[in-house]
Structures are given as C-alpha cells and as structure tokens.
Amino acid sequence: MKRYLRPLGASLLCGTVAVVAACSSSATSTGSPGSTASSAAKNGGTITIDAGTAPLSADQGLDFTTQGTELYSVVNTPLLTFQRGVSGVGGAKIIPGLAQALPTVTNGGKTYTFMLRPGLVYSNGQAIKASDETYALERDIKIPWQAASFVSAYIAGGTAYADGKAKTISGITTDDATGKIVVNLVAPFAPIEDIFALAGTAPVPPSTPMKNLANTGTIGDGPYMWGPITPNQSYTLVKNPKFDVPGIPKGHANTIIFQVNTNVLANAEAVLNNQADVFDAGDTLPASIISQVQSQASDRYQEVPTNSSYYWFMAVNQKPFNNLYAREAVLAAMDDRALSRLDSGLLSPDCHLIPPGIVGGGSSPASCPFHPADGPPNMTEAKSLMQKSGMIGQPVTVYGEERAPRRQWLDYITGVLNSLGFKATEKVVNSSVYFTTIGAPTLKPQFGFGDWVQDFPNPWDFMQLFAGNAGSSLNYGYVNDPHYNSQINTLPASTPESVASQWTALDNYAVGKAYYAVYGHQEFPKFYSDQMNFQAGVLSVEYQTDLTSLELK
C-alpha cells in the first residue's frame, strides 16, 4: 500500500494544471470521470500495448482472461457496467450500461427487470434489441463461455438449456418493442447484477455465429470495435464512431494495438525505451529490470494493488491430496515470502482466498495455520503431518504456466513437495492454453497453479471457485464440501456487507480444511512510455488497463 500511495501523492503535487485536473478525476469516484478527462485530453493517435500473454480468444462469448477482458470490455458493453476512469475500489461501482438504470428487483430478489436505452446501435449500425440479450446468454452457454456457469446455474431454465432440454433460456423474457428484459433466477442471487456487468453477457446481433470467433471477435456496441486480429500475435481496436452511451467514456486513442510477445523483459525494455506505450498490467515486471525502471522511469511507473489471489489447488478427490494431513503439510511447508520474491516482491503473502480489498477479506496473514503467511515455513510440523498422512513417496504431477514468474513458482513448489517426500514432477503448460488444459474433464490434475483476479466486488466471485455444486469448471481441486456448498448457495442472497463475517468464516473454514493453498495477493504494474499521459491512465480493479483512459501527451 505504501508503495502505491507514495508515487500517487507525488504526482498530485507536481503536475501541471491540466495534469492536476486529470489526477483529480482519477482519484475520485464521483462525477463523470470520462468527461472530466476528455476536457483536457489529447484525442487521436495510436497506442501500442506490449503483452506477454494473449487472450484465449477475442470472442467475449468464450474468453474470461484478464488480457481478454481488457480488450473486449471496450468492444462489448453489457446492460450494466463498472465505472471507468476510476482507480481503486471506486472502479468497481456498477452503473447502467446499455440499460437505462440499474435493474428493478422484485419477487424476493428472484426477478430482475432491465430497460434498454432507446436508439442503441451496434458498431455496424444495426439496432440493438432486447432479444439480443437472450441470444448472447444462450451463446455463452453453447460456446461455452469460460464463466458459463455464472449464467446457466443461476438463471431459471439455464441448466435445461445447457443440457439441451430446452430451446431457449426460459427464465429470460424480452420485449423488443419496449426494450424490456426480465430475468428470473432460480433463487435470490445478489451477484447477478455484477454478472450482467461483465462483457461476456453483452448483447450480440442474432446473426453472430454460435461459435468461437477468435479471428474476428464479435460485432460490438462499445467505444471501440475490432480491427485486424492475428490470434496470439496482435489485436487491433479502432474507435467506434457510432458509440454514444452516457456515462461511459468514448476513449482517446483512435487505434489501440495489443501486441503479444512472450518475452516480457523485451516488452518492458520496449516501454522503457519508448518503443511501445504500455506494459500490460497482466504481466509481471521482471526483477532484472525493476531497479532500472525505478531509477530511469519513476515518473511513469507505479505498483497498483488489485484484488487478486494466487493459489495452488489440490485435487481432494484423488491421492495423495484426498488426505487432509497431506494438504496441511503443503500449507505448513510453503514459504509465501519466497513466492513473493519470485514475483519481484509484488505479492503480499496471505493464505486467504478473499483479498483484503473485498468484503470479507482482510484477515491477518498472522492468523494462517501452522505459520504466519509472512513468516518462515514450519518444516518440522510439515514433516510430522506427512508422516501421519502415510503419503510419503506418492507421485504428484504439478501443473504450472510457462511464463515468468509462474514457471519459477512451479519450480519452487515442486521442490517443496519433493522435500516433503512426494515424488513430484513438473508439467509446464503454455500460458495461453493453461486453464483450458487443466480444466479439461479428462485430465484431472492432482496439483497446480491457479489465480483469480476480481471480476466484481463480491466475495462470492472468489469463493465460488471451490464450490462443488455450481457446475463450475473452475473448481480444479474438485472440492465438494456440503457446508461450503451450502454457504455458497445461501450467502449470495444477501448483500456482501450484511454477511461479511460469514464470508470471512467460510474462507477460514476452507483454509482450515486446506482446500486451497493461497500464497498471496498481487500488485499490478502501471508502466507507460514517455509519450503517454501517465496521470490520465487508469489501472482499474475491474479492467486492469482501462483502455478508454489511455491518451497520448
């Protein structure tokens, strides 16, 4: 936190009048940040973002990665949206997107009614109809969207549609004439508003094929539209001249090019030397260049806290991690401080899944079992637990990503498992296909890397990862605990604030059962070239780099 506040405070003091205006707009969550920034902003030009990892797809109906969200969230505007142009928690505030206002909630929290704004059009000029929303959600289920369970499990008729037992999602009714969209839920579920603010739920024209459009993306309704795409290499966004939704900024640059180069160090050097404009916030700035960046570019580099959790999942349905002692031994032996150093020091050690910035989070790292998360591991206890487990000598395949520092994390944890007496071997998977690989139903990995970056400010967003009854394909540990499932089903009916202590208790319960081995929450790098207006750029908790905030000097 201190590292975040210092440069921000300095920047507020030393800016010009125009920059101060931009600063104030990015430091507050009130007013209309988009319009404030644009009054002093320079519009036009081309901005290049260098990224180490490509999105899984340009199609928001399939992809659910941080890299993808950055891009298609400016192409596909959903019914609701998260406020743009605001750093920090203010950037998680939900405002109307294509809907005229926030939904009306009736029927004891089971019915949400939206009204589309009149006169909305897609980037190709086609009118947006209320029924397009139904089609988009059906498309999410069919393709399927990586977070398809968000839709299928909670909207009435979603499961039947997913199973092929219904031709449409019966829980959604629309009226194209009035723009009315009524969504009926299976049970009261507060996060549904957040889900309708995700780009994956944005309407698409009914002519959009029901398949992954990785090479083109979909026709959208946001401030930008897709230009040329070369999957895994470059993704171009160009301004959508037809976009005009009040409260949502139109963006400054005419063209934004997101180019992928797996050599993250080369990307950082390119930004440092002004050969590229933005270092993608989803990547970790390599330790080898951080001191150089801090000395040569301190006025255009900042470490920004985000709501994210990094963890190891352990498959509780198979040997050796179906044994509680074996799982606890991992928690006791893991040194979160070491994992933080591998992450260039940008990771705050913690064992809890809910990050401190989310309601229910903020439990002290000192309360972690076996040893404080920010303290040395307890190898004596770990080895004792291993003896009790009877799992010494069991083979374990450890899955991890190729890109730094995730491969280094993999090397580290494999060493820890071997030191505990497992026969651990590594399996390194290309970053762009890692989660689809480990999520394949046939693979059933025993142990592996996982991370989650906030989709919306609700503890359910994190805790649902280990729910066994939500049909989630994200529960890589195959956790299926009746108490956990029950809480995941009941707590979302209430606002997070009203049940904050219960969310905290659920997180502690899961830590006590060693269902996951969380090791920290990460700060993301905000690093721009000299050509960029650094103060105007926003690193959002929702969108990471908020592309509508990027502007050239």
Partner 1 sequence: MALDSADDRGAAGVVVTAAPRDLSPEGRQPSAIGPWRLAGRRLRRNKVALFFLALFVVIVAMCLLAPVYSAHIAGIGPNTNNITGTVSVAGKQQDVVSLDGVPIGPTWGAHYLLGADTNGRDLAVRLLYGGRTSLLIGAIATVIIIVLGTLAGLLSGYFRGAADFILRPLMELIWSFPVVILGVALGTALAIGGIGPVKGNSVYIPAFIIGVVYIPYLGKPIRGEVMRVRNQDYIDAARVQGMGHWRIMFSEIMPNVSSTIIVFVPLILASSILLESYLSFLGAGVQAPNASWGTLISDGLDYLQTTPTFSLIPGAMLVLTVLSINVVGDGIRDALDPRAQVRVRT
Query: Measured between alpha carbons, how far is 374 from 368 in angstroms, rounded to an integer?
Result: 9
Cα dihedral across residues 486, 490, 496, 499: positive or negative: negative
Q: Which is nearer to partner 1, 350 or 551 (CB)?
A: 350
Query: Measured between alpha carbons, how far is 100 from 92 in angstroms, rounded to an integer?
Result: 19
Choosing from 107, 288, 298, 490, the residue that interacts with partner 1 (CB under 8 A) is: 288
Cα-flanking dihedrals φ and ψ of residue 413, to 5°? -70, -30
Whether 53 contacts 282, CB under 8 Å:
yes
Q: Which is nearer to partner 1, 391 or 398 (CB)?
A: 398
Site string for partner 1, 299-338 (x = CB under 8 A): ------------------------------------x-xx
Query: Measured between alpha carbons, how far is 412 from 426 in angstroms, rounded to an integer?
Result: 10
User: Per the structure block, which two tokens stand in for 56?
Assistant: 């899984």
Q: Which is nearer to partner 1, 133 or 343 (CB)?
A: 343
Query: Taking the complex as a whole, how short is the minimal distance between the CB of residue 201 and partner 1, in angstroms?
Result: 34
Q: Which is nearer to partner 1, 33 or 286 (CB)?
A: 286
Query: Taking the complex as a whole, how short is the minimal distance between the CB of residue 335 and partner 1, in angstroms?
Result: 6
Site string for partner 1, 236-275 (x = CB under 8 A): -----------------------------x----------
C-alpha dist (Å) from residue 543 to 82, 167, 261, 474, 549: 9, 33, 21, 20, 11
Choosing from 13, 167, 207, 291, the residue that interacts with partner 1 (CB under 8 A) is: 291
Choosing from 238, 287, 392, 493, the residue that interacts with partner 1 (CB under 8 A) is: 287
- 3-class DSSP string for 218-260: CCCCCCEEEEEEECCCEEEEEECCCCCCCCCCCCCCCEEEEEE
Query: Taking the complex as a whole, how short is the minimal distance between the CB of residue 165 and partner 1, in angstroms?
Result: 36
- Interface residues for partner 1 in 385-444 (CB under 8 A)? 402, 404-405, 407-408, 410-412, 414-416, 418, 425-428
Q: Which is nearer to partner 1, 169 or 338 (CB)?
A: 338
Query: Taking the complex as a whole, how short is the minimal distance between the CB of residue 352 and partner 1, in angstroms?
Result: 21
Site string for partner 1, 358-377 (x = CB under 8 A): ------------------x-
Nearest residue to 531 (alpha-carbon basis) of 22, 12, 35, 44: 44
User: Per the structure block, which two tokens stand in for 236?
Assistant: 């171009």
Q: Which is nearer to partner 1, 161 or 399 (CB)?
A: 399
Q: CB under 8 A: which stretch of 48-56, 170-178, 339-347, 486-494 binds partner 1?
A: 339-347
Query: Taking the complex as a whole, how short is the minimal distance between the CB of residue 410 and partner 1, in angstroms?
Result: 7
Query: Taking the complex as a whole, how short is the minimal distance between the CB of residue 409 and partner 1, in angstroms?
Result: 9
Q: Which is nearer to partner 1, 265 or 493 (CB)?
A: 265
Query: Taking the complex as a whole, how short is the minimal distance between the CB of residue 260 and partner 1, in angstroms?
Result: 16
Query: Taking the complex as a whole, how short is the minimal distance between the CB of residue 25 and partner 1, in angstroms?
Result: 31
In this structure, what DSSP letter does residue 126 have? P
Query: Measured between alpha carbons, how far is 147 from 154 in angstroms, rounded to an integer?
Result: 12
Query: Measured between alpha carbons, how far is 283 from 68 in angstroms, rounded to an integer?
Result: 13
Choosing from 267, 344, 446, 540, the residue that interacts with partner 1 (CB under 8 A) is: 344
Q: Find all residues with CB under 8 Å of 186, minimum gap 6, and list them.
A: 110, 153, 154, 155, 156, 158, 171
Choosing from 343, 461, 523, 542, the residue that interacts with partner 1 (CB under 8 A) is: 343
Query: Measured between alpha carbons, how far is 466 from 456 in angstroms, rounded to an integer?
Result: 17
Cα-flanking dihedrals φ and ψ of residue 235, to 5°? -135, 125
CB neighbourhood size of 18 (10 A): 15
Query: Measured between alpha carbons, how far is 80 from 83 in angstroms, rounded to an integer?
Result: 10
Choosing from 15, 345, 362, 439, the residue that interacts with partner 1 (CB under 8 A) is: 345
Whether 479 contacts 487, CB under 8 Å:
no
Amino acid at position 23, single letter: C
Which ranges in 275-394 belong to alpha helices (H)? 287-296, 324-333, 336-342, 379-389
User: Per the structure block, which two tokens stand in for 457?
Assistant: 């400010």
How many residues sit in the footprint of partner 1 (CB under 8 A)? 32
Query: Measured between alpha carbons, how far is 540 from 519 in angstroms, rounded to an integer?
Result: 23
Question: Residue 342, interface with partner 1 (CB under 8 A)?
Answer: yes
Q: Which is nearer to partner 1, 175 or 426 (CB)?
A: 426
Q: Which is nearer to partner 1, 250 or 406 (CB)?
A: 406
Binding site for partner 1 (CB under 8 A): 265, 286-291, 335, 337-338, 341-345, 376, 402, 404-405, 407-408, 410-412, 414-416, 418, 425-428
